[in-house]
């Protein structure tokens, strides 16, 4: 995707997107690409419209939240958001942002990650966490789950015990195990009322998807 043309999709922050999109992480991870950033941006703006908060801070945090790429199976996965926050801080400093505003963006980025297991303290941080987690449930969440499983060389499911009735869950070996180990748990942890409403709807879609998947196999 051409980043110059992509910036236009981030209205009303096209200029900010044009500045920040060139700094997104290089690589071939289609679950953390410009399309993911745009979906998170749309989620965030939808929540912000109901909850309030500083939209510019939020937009910057969304655009840079995955600016450091760390694979899901990396031993430093839990540090990914902190690394991204540090890189984002340098980028915004070079663009002349005030220290207070940089700190607000960095906090949102640091606490957005499920792996980091940190509590967001500002409204913008809560919205970013919710917006990012919305992309992990629902139909997009299912698609990303199988995409990542393919990147990591996992199977789709255990043919003898797909729902892990008689074995331990192992989402490193079987993609659908990830539904129980993580994806079904996400809806309970949303920070905002608007985020929780969207999460409840997408959670039900994810449950329906798994039920249909099991029916077919």
CA distance 62 to 36: 10
pLDDT at 71: 63
Percent of the chain whose pLDDT exceeds 70? 91
Phi-psi label, residue 96: left if phi above 0, alpha if psi -120 to 50, beta otherwise: left
CATH class for the domain made up of 136-217: mainly alpha
According to the model, what pLDDT value does residue 82 have?
A: 86
Assess contact for 182 and 171: CB atoms under 8 A: yes
Where in the chain is CATH 1.10.3210.50? 1-122
The reported pLDDT for the residue numbered 46 is: 97
- Higher-confidence residue of 25 and 132: namely 132
Distance CA 204, CA 16 (A): 35
* pLDDT at 72 exceeding the cut of 70: no
- pLDDT at residue 2 tops 60: no
State which H helix or E strand residue 12 sits in: none
CATH number assigned to the domain covering 1-122: 1.10.3210.50
pLDDT value of position 138: 93
Delimit the CATH 1.20.58.1910 region(s) of the chain. Answer: 136-217
The pLDDT mean for the chain works out to: 91
**pLDDT (tens digit per residue) in 103-143:** 999 999 999 987 777 889 999 999 999 999 999 999 999 99
């Amino acid at each position: 995707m051409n980043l110059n043309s992509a910036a236009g999709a981030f209205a009303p922050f096209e200029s900010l997107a044009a500045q920040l999109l060139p700094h997104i992480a290089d690589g071939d991870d289609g679950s953390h690409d410009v399309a993911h950033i745009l979906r998170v941006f749309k989620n965030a703006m939808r929540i912000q419209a109901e909850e309030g908060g500083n939209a510019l801070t939020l937009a910057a945090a969304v655009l840079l939240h995955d600016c450091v790429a760390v694979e899901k199976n990396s031993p430093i996965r839990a540090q990914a958001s902190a690394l991204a926050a540090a890189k984002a801080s340098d980028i915004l400093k070079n663009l002349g942002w005030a220290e207070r505003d940089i700190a607000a963006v960095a906090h949102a980025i640091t606490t957005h990650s499920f792996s980091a297991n940190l509590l967001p303290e500002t409204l913008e941080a809560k919205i970013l966490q919710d917006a990012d987690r919305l992309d992990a449930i629902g139909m997009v969440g299912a698609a990303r789950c199988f995409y990542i499983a393919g990147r990591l060389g996992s199977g789709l499911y255990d043919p003898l015990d797909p729902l892990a009735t008689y074995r331990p869950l192992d989402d490193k070996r079987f993609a659908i195990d990830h539904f129980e180990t993580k994806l079904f748990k996400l809806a309970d942890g949303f920070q905002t009322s608007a985020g929780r409403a969207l999460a409840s709807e997408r959670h039900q879609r994810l449950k329906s998807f798994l039920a249909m998947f099991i029916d077919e196999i």
